[in-house]
Amino acid sequence: MTNVTVIGAQWGDEGKGKIVDWLAARADVVVRFQGGHNAGHTLVVDGKVYKLSLLPSGIVRGTLSVIGNGVVLDPWALVREMETLREQGVTITPAQLRLSETCPLILPFHRDLDGLREDASGEGKIGTTRRGIGPAYEDKAGRRALRVCDLRDLARVGPQLDRIEAHHNALRAGFGVDPIDRAELVAELEKIAEQVLPFAGPVWRDLNEARLQGKRILFEGAQGVLLDVDHGTYPFVTSSNTVSGTAASGSGLGPSAAGYVLGIVKAYTTRVGSGPFPTELEDATGQKLGERGHEFGTVTGRRRRCGWFDAALVRQSIAISGVAGMALTKLDVLDTFETLRICTGYRVDGVEYDYLPAGAQAQLAAEPIYEEFQGWEGPTAGARSWTDLPAQAVKYVKRIEELVGCPVALVSTSPERDDTILVTDPFAA
């Protein structure tokens, strides 16, 4: 048996929640290794809907869940999410949830700065969720962040607060807002510390012990590869590395621990917020995809932009993240389309590319090169074996495999956990 790392191979919202939940039932540990509470996962378990933003998906099933050091943590958001799940009957104690003591904290002034910048950016808006993710990662890189471990002795964080205020108060003054109220901040942290610290510890040690014991570890990524700060459609990206390699640095385990890399791929393409989207459909077809796929963000409620499947982008993501197999989701959304299209490359200023160029202007100017594909008659919703699928739907899946150069390991045909066609067991691969 091997460990499994799950990542999104598009712009996020690929349906990772269901797949991670499906795998979490067979894992011993589930680890969240990057991002913050800007990434939402929706789980449907026995007809009950759970919406997660920060907690690993394994928490719903009682699987040991770990928030790694690569995550930026809003302690108030964590407590609210735990309270919501407890109201739904989920047990959350330090026996079920472990939190890295070196997670950087998202603090109120990070949220302030996120919103102030976005409002002042005009046409340069990134489309941030305004939750302070980017500013918190900036402070981590700038060596001025407060971390979870600092909550244990707030009386001694004065020098670090000096560094924070030296940076943020100048920015706040530039935006015409009051400086940070240090006393109020420390008072708020003292209150929340009591609810967070019982879960905190050296999770790198816990994870290494689990590996030595031969336990199956599932690494759960947030967002998607195309939002990676290095490899995504920059600058319209998140502020962390979303690729599979981050599972090592964001958890405290070596790179060999990542195991089998499973890339989650939606059978069409969606994106939330600003940025290039070559196959976007701003017509009745795009609206139909959104309505059939219920394409609204779990965290923000924003309508997702919809378009045809982009094989060139997925091929790029798979290469960058070393994906061994794909989990193809939402195939059933395409059930009623007479004709489908698949993007195989781009044309930019008359030049053809089999990948998306890195330059922002080239990305915005990229025109998709399409291959048309006949739709299928009959439903795929609820299918649990290849024989349940219309022949043309099977051909669509196989054509995607050919174009992106990666086998399909799983096919999801509805939000329900068991409506899944298993081709390759990631834990046994």
Catalytic positions are 13, 41
Residue in the structure block whose two tokens are 């330059």: 359
Q: 33 near 47, Cβ under 8 Å?
A: no
Chain CA centroid to CA 307, Å: 19
Is 239 within 8 Å of 133 (Cβ atoms)?
A: yes
β-bridge partners, 303 = 296
Q: How far apart are CA 185 and CA 190, in angstroms?
A: 9
Q: Which of 329, 310, 328 is nearest to 370 (CA)?
A: 310
Query: Based on C-alpha coordinates, what's the Rg of the chain?
Result: 22
Backbone angles phi, psi at 299, to 5 degrees: -85, -50
For residue 38, the SS3 value is coil
- In whole angstroms, what is the distance from residue 163 CA to residue 138 CA? 13
C-alpha 109/C-alpha 113 separation (Å) is 6
Token representation of residue 72: 């930026």
Instruction: Return contacts of 397-400, CB within 8 angstroms, 24+ apart.
Output: 397/328, 397/331, 399/342, 399/373, 400/265, 400/267, 400/309, 400/311, 400/314, 400/326, 400/328, 400/342
The two structure tokens encoding residue 176:
């015409």
CB of 344 closer than 8 Å to CB of 315: no
CA 159 remoteness from chain centre: 34
First to last CA, the chain: 7
Q: Residue 110: which of 128, 129, 134, 80 has the closest Cα?
A: 134
Between CA 346 and CA 366 the distance in angstroms is: 6
Side chain identity, residue 303: R
